[in-house]
Structure 1
Amino acid sequence: MPRPHGFAYTTHADDTVTITHHSHPATTLRGPRADQFLTEVASGDPQLVMARWTGNYKHGNERTARNHPRNRP
């Protein structure tokens, strides 16, 4: 599975976290969810964590896309 890329996050003074994907806002987390997200980002791969939190993670078509004639070597 290719590794996700293009995600970034910013923390704000009011304890909210905004996750962006290629400079477009993907989601905003507040309160305990923001704290949980920051804990996970600190302990794991940030790109994978942000992809999972935004819902842009493993759509189920990865194997189908890999086997498509256009994607074969």
Structure 2
Amino acid sequence: MPKPQGFSYVRRPDGTVLITHRERAATTLRGGRAEKFLAEAEVGDGQLVMARWTGAYKIGNERQARSHPRNR
């Protein structure tokens, strides 16, 4: 599976976190979810963490999954 690219995040003064993908807003996190994300982003691979938090981690295998017997 290829590694996700093009994600970035901005921590705003009011405590929210804006995650963007290729300079377009992907999601906004507030409160406890924002804090959890920041803690996870500092420790792990930032691109993979942001892809997982935005739901954009399925890259390249959607076509194969569609034909799987479980998904028919």
Partner of 1:8: 8
Q: Deviations over 1:20-60 (max 9, x none)?
A: 00000000000000000000000100000000000001267
Structure 1 segments unaligned to the other structure (5+ residues) = 65-73
Using CA pairs under 8 Å that are at least 6 residues apart, name the structure with larger relative contact order, 1 or 2.
2
Q: Name which of structure 1's ranges 23-32 and 55-64 shifts more when overlaid on structure 2.
A: 55-64
Structure 2 segments unaligned to the other structure (5+ residues) = 65-72
TM-score, normalized by length of structure 2? 0.82
Moved over 4 A (4+): none
TM-score, normalized by length of structure 1? 0.81
Identity %: 62
1:63 deviation in Å? 7.7
Instruction: Give the aligned CA root-mean-square deviation in angstroms.
Output: 1.7
How many matched pairs? Answer: 64
